[in-house]
Amino acid sequence: MKVNWNSKYNTISVYALIVICCSIIFYFVASQIGSFSEKISIAIGILYPFIIGFAIAYLLNFILDFYEVKMLGKVQWFRNLRKGQKRSIGLLLTYLTAMGICYLFIHFIVPQLIESIMGFVNEVPQYVDNVTKLFNDLINETNVSPEYAALIQEQIDKYIQFVMDFAKEIIPIVGNTVKVIASSIWNIVLGMVISVYLLIDKENFFAINRKITCALFSTKTANRIFELTYRSNETFGKFLSGKIIDSAIIGVLSFVVFSVFKMPYTLLISVIIGVTNIIPFFGPFIGAIPSFIIILFVSPTKALIFLLLVFIIQQIDGNIIGPKILGDSIGISAFWILFAILVAGKFLGIVGMIIGVPLFAIVYSIIKEDVEYKLKIKELPTDTKDYIDKV
């Protein structure tokens, strides 16, 4: 029997049934949240190589497009090749580039990083003694009252204990990181293989997704999904690729500047500054604080110079390098950037702080379009300035 969807009571009954079913499912999930989370973890573990493969393919796709479109796409002999031959050459150059970058990092940077970390950990006791002696001399020379001297000494002891704990945790953190990477080698290898297949036939995968979307949704809804997907890819792609390039430039620039000023542990603090620069807004602070503490033990004067240099580098990045690379790829104000970082970081940690900004930018653009569309229907202005209270 055909259901008369225009009937008021039939519509209410169907919606009520859907709400009841959803409530029952939610109850079972909430009551069995432990086993449900365990099953999700198992499913993620099974799909882990595919997740890694998708992430690798997404990042390497920018390099592949660079070779196929921007570099070799302008060469006549390359344009005369068949599609499969073009893709094979592009993939070969892409993975050679990626492996070359990994080799250079592992061969030149990793050993010096490990040497710097081990050197810092081994010299921490000596640094602590020097700092303690320096503060004691300052207290004696300034004739500080015993009460204030005891308070200052208590704070110094807390600071020293914090640094000692920080130094003790460095080696276990590095060891655990190496252990996680080593245990994930097989998944990374499988991810690399999967990424090759994804990039070889990426156009076909896109076509299959479009085909399924067109079959399941109306033409209007399907076009909206395609538009949002394209926008999400553009936002994420420009932001992530731009941030990686920007952070690499800042890391190299920091290394050169710190080398000129003969900063201690130059490579270590340059890598910290470069890596944390990927995180918007808070990145410079997250990288500068531990670096400042490391340098402070060696030389308080150089620690202050380091802060001045970091401030100058960040000004160059924020006003020159960043805008040139990223442009207006986000399109949201500083307040919403801060909001996105804090909220996404609370739920997803470091990953959330990195992807939270482009994710929020997409949601923000969707809400903005919907609001402006409804305002146009009501024949109201869409510019925010028109709603500022002039009184």
Q: How many CB atoms lie within 10 A of CB 265?
A: 21
> Could you tell me if residue 299 is inside a domain?
no
CB atoms closer than 10 angstroms to residue 182? 9
Considering 109-113, 122-126, 266-270, the range whose residues carry the highest mean pLDDT is: 266-270
Give the confidence band of 391 by pLDDT, cuts at 50, 70, 90: very low
Is 53 within a domain?
no
pLDDT at 95: 93
Q: Is residue 367 in a domain?
A: yes
Tens of pLDDT, residue by residue over 282-330, are 777 888 888 887 787 778 788 899 999 999 998 888 788 877 776 555 6
**Is residue 340, in this structure, part of any structural domain at all?**
yes
pLDDT of residue 169: 65
**Predicted model pTM:** 0.70
297, part of any domain: no
Count CA atoms within 13 Å of residue 271 on its CB side.
13
Q: Is residue 256 part of a domain?
A: no
Q: Which residues of 338-373 are buried (b: 16+ CB within 10 A; e: fewer)?
A: ebbbeebbeeeeeebbbbbbbbbbbebbeeeeeeee
Give domain status of residue 52, yes or no. Answer: no
Asked which of 94-98, 224-228, 323-327 is least confident by mean pLDDT, the reply is 323-327
- What is the span of the domain harbouring residue 370? 330-377
**Neighbouring C-beta atoms of residue 309, cutoff 10 Å:** 19
Sequence-distant (≥ 6) Cβ neighbours of residue 200 within 8 angstroms: 87, 91
Q: What is the average pLDDT across 127-143?
A: 71
Domain count, the chain: 1
Q: Is residue 55 part of a domain?
A: no
